[in-house]
């Protein structure tokens, strides 16, 4: 299955590079195509996230009532989730689903043998190099290559903040961006570009979807 995804990504990249002459442009366009394909799943998860936000007052009441009895608190929270047919970790699902796609994208980038002039993006980044590789080239070059990892951290933080629906997920606001930052420093710039564009797509998409599932001020169900 993974090889099928890898082969599909390589084919799409090759077709777009043949038209544009740039793997940077190809990565951006393929990223948008992948994210558009995931829109139906994202929409399905959005209602669950909206309901989770509406349940926060009730969850807070349970936490105050059973603060000295973790087992009882857990039982009541599970019951509440079942009553509303939601998954408290639903907001993290889009990120988890991207993991096999990211792995396939990395394999695709490693398997291509592009011409030198096609692998640069905006004349600043060689998409086959990482920020770690560029750090050995000098201070200026190293700083340029750190820009995309920094954007990866920022966009990951914003996206995680948008999708976190449970107080227990607050740690993800720190853990996920830090983890992505560490990975982005060592991964090829082409893969980091994919992650940044994907996050930007998700942030805009979530902002638009939130208009469809507004949260009432009275703690009721999403409108």
Residue 120 within any structural domain of the chain: yes
| Contact call for residues 27 and 193 (beta carbons, < 8 A) | yes
Percent of the chain with pLDDT over 70: 80
Rounded to an integer, the average pLDDT of 181-194 is 91
| Contact call for residues 101 and 195 (beta carbons, < 8 A) | no
| Contact call for residues 121 and 189 (beta carbons, < 8 A) | yes
Residue 59 within any structural domain of the chain: no
Residues 127 and 108: their CA atoms lie apart, in Å, by: 12
Q: Which residue has the tokens 């692998």?
A: 119
Indicate if the pLDDT at residue 8 is higher than 80: yes
Residue 60 within any structural domain of the chain: no
Residue 157 within any structural domain of the chain: yes
Q: Which residue has the tokens 């797509």?
A: 201
Residue 180 within any structural domain of the chain: yes
pLDDT score for 219: 41
Indicate if the pLDDT at residue 78 is higher than 60: yes
Q: What global pTM score does this model have?
A: 0.73
Indicate if the pLDDT at residue 133 is higher than 80: yes
| Contact call for residues 155 and 199 (beta carbons, < 8 A) | yes
Indicate if the pLDDT at residue 88 is higher than 80: no
> Strand pairing partners for 120?
126
What range defines the domain where residue 140 resides? 2-50+91-212
Domain count, the chain: 1
Q: What is the mean pLDDT of the chain?
A: 79
Alpha carbon separation from 23 to 34, 112, 194 (Å, rounded): 16, 10, 11
Residue 77 within any structural domain of the chain: no
Residue 221 within any structural domain of the chain: no
> Strand pairing partners for 121?
125
Indicate if the pLDDT at residue 36 is higher than 60: yes
């Amino acid at each position: 299955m993974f090889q099928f995804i890898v082969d599909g990504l390589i084919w799409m990249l090759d077709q777009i590079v043949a038209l544009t002459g740039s793997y940077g442009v190809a990565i951006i366009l393929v990223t948008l195509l992948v994210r558009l394909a995931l829109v139906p799943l994202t929409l399905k998860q959005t209602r669950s996230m909206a309901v989770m936000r509406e349940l926060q007052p009730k969850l807070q009441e349970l936490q105050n009532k059973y603060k000295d009895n973790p087992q009882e608190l857990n039982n009541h929270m599970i019951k509440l989730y079942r009553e509303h047919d939601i998954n408290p970790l639903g907001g993290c699902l889009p990120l988890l689903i991207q993991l096999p796609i990211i792995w396939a994208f990395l394999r695709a980038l490693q398997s291509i043998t592009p011409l030198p002039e096609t692998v640069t993006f905006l004349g600043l980044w060689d998409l086959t190099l990482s920020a770690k590789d560029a750090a050995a080239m000098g201070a200026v070059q190293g700083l340029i290559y750190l820009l995309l990892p920094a954007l990866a951290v920022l966009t990951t933080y914003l996206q995680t903040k948008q999708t976190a629906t449970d107080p227990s997920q607050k740690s993800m606001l720190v853990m996920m961006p830090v983890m992505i930052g560490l990975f982005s420093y060592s991964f090829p710039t082409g893969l980091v570009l994919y992650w940044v564009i994907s996050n930007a797509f998700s942030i805009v998409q979530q902002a638009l979807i939130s208009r469809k599932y507004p949260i009432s001020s009275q703690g009721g169900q999403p409108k």
